[in-house]
Amino acid sequence: MKKIIFRIISTLLILSILITTLMGCRNNDDDDFDNPEFVFLPEVTQLRLPAGVEWVNNLFASNNKIYFDAATYDDEIMQIFSSDIYEMDFDGTNIKTIPNYDPFSGIAIELSQFGEDVIGNIRIHTLFIDNEGNIWIAEQGDFYFFDLPDDWVGEEWEKWEYRKNIPGFVRVRKLDNTGTELLSIDIAHITAGHEWFNIQSMAIDNDGNIFIGFDSKIHVLNNEGRALFTLDTTWIDRFIVMQDGTIAHTEWRERGRAFVKIDVSGKRWGEAIDLPNNVHNVFSGNDEYTLIFSDSVGLYGMEASTGDIVLLLNWIDSDMTTEGLNSVTFLDDERILITSQHWGSGGQSHEIIMLTKTPFSEIPERLILTLATFNLDWNIRSAIVHFNRTSKTHRINVTDYGTFSTDDDWFAGLARLSTEIISGRIPDILDVSNLSYDRYVASGLLVDLYTFIDSDPNLNRSDFMESVLKATEINGGLYMIFPTFNIITISGNPSVVGDYPGWTMDEFLAVLAANPDADVPLGQSLTKEMFLQALIMMNMDKYVDWVNGVVNFDSNEFISLLEFANTLPDDFDWHSEYIETHKLISSGRQLMMLDSFYDFSVYQINRATLGGEIIFKGFPAENRNGNTLNSYSGFAITEKCVDKEGAWSFIKSFLNEDWLRDNTRHSIPIMQSVFDEKLKDAMTEDEWGHGTVGMNGLMIELKPLTQAEADQILALINSVTSTVSYDDFIWNIVSESASSFFAGQISAQDAVRVIQNRVSTYVAEQG
């Protein structure tokens, strides 16, 4: 499969599909979802901060201690915000300040000459512990006072006319482990010209050279603060301290992300080592590993002796998420210390996690449910971790098939999962998002979930959005359910595309014919193959009826769609000039948008982008209903599941109102009560979420929805009768024949005839 498949990621359509998750679980005797030999069991400590500490930064583990800085406010000392440096034990106890650290060292006398009403802040940008246990900080101070006339009388806000700035400072300080200053270096010369800046990372090499990263540049200074050289970078990440005391950094290079050493003697970038593109965080290694890095699946090490990358732990096996991952430290006794920070409705929170390597056989016995996943959704991942930490009867183990996908084939993982299911490697729970799950219904693989809903004392079918359940049904049965979803459609301005929802292929082509200047009718990045693949995924159930074994590609409608796709570009130059969508639409070059409706604000944003009015047309279809439901995670229980009630208890945890309220910021909840709450908020003047946003090159004012707008959204949701699905084998058949047509080797009619025959044979063989 070609790399262009998901280049449409710039649109909401494919982004919403790419984010979806594929999961499964099983514990049969013939199961080949193997348990790991070892897991790292977590001991989680919620950090309890001293009273008055408001803001924690820069958690750094070293010398059997965790160090961090935290902002405080003291109106007894010149009304100045400042930072303290704290240390604590690995278990979060014995929190205390470094006693001799004085943020006002060297400036207190200078500030005092301006009187007692000096206002300002001293903050620590970043903190680093060197190999000798010394504490290095990059520190900034900014101060002012109000030079009021002796007889001044006025409102508080009028004082700002008399504000006087006091010269501040930017410096690097070296402290011993008690906070006593050993060195102070003025670094204002590297921040000159930046009114606002943030030093994001700092490190010290074995020669005492100072590495400072901010504003897409790495500044290297000697131990006296003199600038040695500067390197441009694509972004600022944490520095990596090598075992020989040299410094490296991670960069985005032409081939992707790379780990690059900094050559101080040559004042340049040194050796570069390619990293996987899905890397999230990179950390300094130890004697065994050159560096440590994480992705959504686990924590990896690059072996110092061979350069090989090895999986050190699986996050879900270790009851962990990677949200807010701050630091990773390998201890001498094989334990791993991790610190993380989180933001939520309650503000900032921090966890200290001690992971202990434990044989899987020593874990308290619970029934294992293995989930096979394709790019596991973050919210689902967190819920699985919570389930594993709290359930005394079941545990979820995850195999992520997204790891089998490549830059050249985004769907390789889905194809592998489908192949393994066909070959008999069947999970207990299957997330069928984007799969042709009706083929599994036809083969009797999946359980009708209505049996669980109807027998549940706390659930009724009426609790769900009725039209959404109906769109998911097959022959009256419900074989998958999902907590959240979005709607894939094509939208446009009614003055251009017509003021009625839906259209046939002839009506679609008539709009194009009436607008001959529209050279990019669906957007400048859309190519032949992108459009065709989106079309197949949105309408798979229209073209292939697995239950009855019927294939429907041989229609005039599909021939016309193929001919339209051929009018689009073969490729898109991603280095070409980007033109904002609203400009293309206002100029008449673009007529409509591939659209994803997932919340009420995006409705207003897209309406503004289209010129102030919006109509949901959907993909062209004979029944004029081309809107498609896309589930973010669609759970199904297989007939081979060893504990169907246990699997349902897991799935049901996502249908909880509280969970949905917390996890549907950018999606639509399936529970009617939660959707009604969100709609009510969107129609209420004082609710959070209204205001002005910058999007698509426009400043858009978000207002409460009117009843007419709400009705239009409800009509869109209620119109949906089909779901997104994908079959790699069918797509390859369509793609091969369509490519021959695009190349002028065969006619559209011949291409469709080949597709019809080959897909019919494939479906018959699978029946």
What pLDDT digit, counting tens, does each position of 239-271 carry?
999 988 999 998 877 767 888 999 999 999 999
From 642, 676, 710, the end of a domain falls on 676
Q: Does the residue 324 lie in any domain? A: no
pLDDT band at 10 (very low <50, low <70, confident <90, very high): very low
pTM over 0.95: no
Q: What mean pLDDT comes out for the span 745-763? A: 95
Rounded Cα distance between 201 and 220, Å, is: 12
Residue labelled with tokens 């503000």: 347
> pLDDT, tens digit, for every residue of 573-592?
766 778 888 899 999 999 99
Please choose, from the candidates 503, 697, 518, the residue with its C-alpha nearest in 3D space to the C-alpha of residue 616. Answer: 503
Q: Are both 642 and 737 inside the same structural domain?
A: no
Taking the CA atoms of 701, 707, 709 and 713 in sequence, report the sign of the dihedral they define. positive
Q: Does the residue 357 lie in any domain? A: no
Residue labelled with tokens 């440590």: 292
pLDDT band at 77 (very low <50, low <70, confident <90, very high): very low
Rounded Cα distance between 722 and 540, Å, is: 9
> pLDDT, tens digit, for every residue of 376-396?
777 888 888 888 888 889 988
Q: Are both 537 and 582 inside the same structural domain?
A: yes
What burial class does residue 688 get, using C-beta atoms within 10 Å of its C-beta: 0-12 exposed, 13-18 middle, 19+ buried? exposed
Rounded Cα distance between 736 and 1, Å, is: 10
Lowest mean pLDDT among 170-174, 195-199, 309-313: 195-199
Measured at the CA of 219, the angle between CA 218 and CA 225, to 5 degrees, comes to: 160
Judge whether residue 9 has pLDDT over 50. no
Domain range for residue 501?
A: 486-629+724-766
From 676, 708, 738, the end of a domain falls on 676
Q: Are both 620 and 645 inside the same structural domain?
A: no
Rounded Cα distance between 590 and 580, Å, is: 11
Judge whether residue 108 has pLDDT over 70. no
Q: How far out from the chain centre does Cα 321 lie?
A: 13
Q: Does the residue 47 lie in any domain? A: no
Q: Are both 459 and 588 inside the same structural domain?
A: no
CATH code of the domain containing 510:
3.40.190.10
604: number of Cβ within 10 Å? 21
CB 325 within 8 A of CB 281: yes
Residue labelled with tokens 């030079």: 147
* 691-695 and 698-702 strand pairing: antiparallel
Q: Are both 597 and 526 inside the same structural domain?
A: yes
543: number of Cβ within 10 Å? 20
Rounded Cα distance between 505 and 451, Å, is: 40
275: number of Cβ within 10 Å? 22
Q: Does the residue 335 lie in any domain? A: no
What strands, in cross-sheet order, belong to the sheet with 325-330?
38-46, 347-359, 336-344, 325-330
Q: Are both 464 and 535 inside the same structural domain?
A: no
CA 370 → CA 365, 391, 426, 433, 651, distances in Å? 15, 15, 10, 17, 13
Rounded Cα distance between 493 and 615, Å, is: 6
Q: Are both 416 and 372 inside the same structural domain?
A: yes
Q: Does the residue 375 lie in any domain? A: yes
Q: Are both 505 and 475 inside the same structural domain?
A: no
pLDDT band at 12 (very low <50, low <70, confident <90, very high): very low
Number of residues that make up the chain: 767
Rounded Cα distance between 727 and 436, Å, is: 6
Q: How many domains does the chain have?
A: 2
What burial class does residue 70 get, using C-beta atoms within 10 Å of its C-beta: 0-12 exposed, 13-18 middle, 19+ buried? buried
Q: Are both 461 and 518 inside the same structural domain?
A: no
Q: Does the residue 13 lie in any domain? A: yes
From 641, 676, 711, the end of a domain falls on 676
Q: Does the residue 169 lie in any domain? A: no
In three-state secondary structure terms, 190 is: helix
pLDDT band at 30 (very low <50, low <70, confident <90, very high): very low
Q: Are both 546 and 400 inside the same structural domain?
A: no
pLDDT band at 639 (very low <50, low <70, confident <90, very high): very high
Q: Does the residue 620 lie in any domain? A: yes
Question: To the nearest whole number, what is the mean pLDDT of the chain?
Answer: 84
Q: Are both 582 and 667 inside the same structural domain?
A: no
Q: Are both 511 and 557 inside the same structural domain?
A: yes
pLDDT of residue 287: 87
Please choose, from the candidates 83, 189, 77, 95, the residue with its C-alpha nearest in 3D space to the C-alpha of residue 137. Answer: 83
CB 430 within 8 A of CB 421: yes
Rounded Cα distance between 481 and 417, Å, is: 19
Q: How far out from the chain centre does Cα 22 lie?
A: 16
In three-state secondary structure terms, 170 is: strand
